[in-house]
Amino acid sequence: MGFESQWNELEAKLPANWADARLKLTVPERSELERATALLAPASPSRSGNAIRFFTARRGAGPSPDAVRRLFRRLDDARVFGRLELLASGQAEPAPEIARGSVRAEWDAVVAALPDDWSDLYGELELRSTDHHEPAALLLSPLNPARHAGKPGFRFRIARKSGYGGSAAMARRCFERLDEAGIPGELHVLRVLCDTDNVATQGPVWYVGGRAV
C-alpha cells in the first residue's frame, strides 16, 4: 500500500478534534532512505536508522494534513516503499463559546482565546449572504481581504507586531464598521503563529492549496 493510502487510513482513525499527529515512516531499503528524506524535506523530518520522523498540524506551525498528503504522493510517484506509523496525536481544546451577532465582539473573543505571544494570524470572515460581498470588501479594505472559493466571505492576514498583514487594532475597527453597516458574519482562525522573528522578510508565508497567502 502506498504512503498516501496509508496516511488516509491513519487520518480517518484520528479523533474528530485532533490537532497534531507525530508520524514515523520506515524505509527498509537504505539505498532509498536519502531519497525519501529529501522528498520529505518540506516537513523538516528527523532521521534515526532507517526511520524518518516528522509531524503534521491542523493549525499553527507544521505542515498541514493536505501538505503531508502531497509529500506522500511524491514518495509514491518516486516508487519509494515503506511503512507509515502514528506515534502520537494531540487533541484541540474545545473552542470557547462565542456570542454571535457582533463581528467585533467575536473578534475580541477570538483574540482573548489566542496564546499571549501570538504574532501572526490567517483568518476568515464567512458572510451569510453574497449580497454583502461588495460593501464588506470596501469596509475590510485596510486588511487587504481576499476571496476564497467555496463560501461567501474573505480571508485576511494579521501581523500583531510587524510584518505583512493588518494590525489587530485595525482589524477590530474594520469588524466594528461591519457591525455598524448591519453586515453579519462569522470569524474563523485558520492559522496562527507565536513569537515569530521577521529577519529581512515581511513575515512568515503560509501555503494553502499550493499557493502562498
Q: Which domains does the chain have, with CATH numbers?
A: 3-91 (3.30.70), 103-196 (3.30.70)
Res. 60: pLDDT tops 70? no
Higher pLDDT, 198 or 108: 108
Q: Determine the average pLDDT of the residues in 76-89.
A: 92
In DSSP terms, 193 is beta-bridged to: 120
pLDDT of 78: 92
pLDDT of 71: 93
In DSSP terms, 91 is beta-bridged to: 18
Res. 44: pLDDT tops 70? yes
pTM of the shown model: 0.51
Higher pLDDT, 186 or 211: 186
In DSSP terms, 85 is beta-bridged to: 24
pLDDT of 105: 92
Mean pLDDT of the chain: 85
Of the CA atoms within 13 Å of residue 204, those in its CB half-sphere come to 22
pLDDT of 94: 58
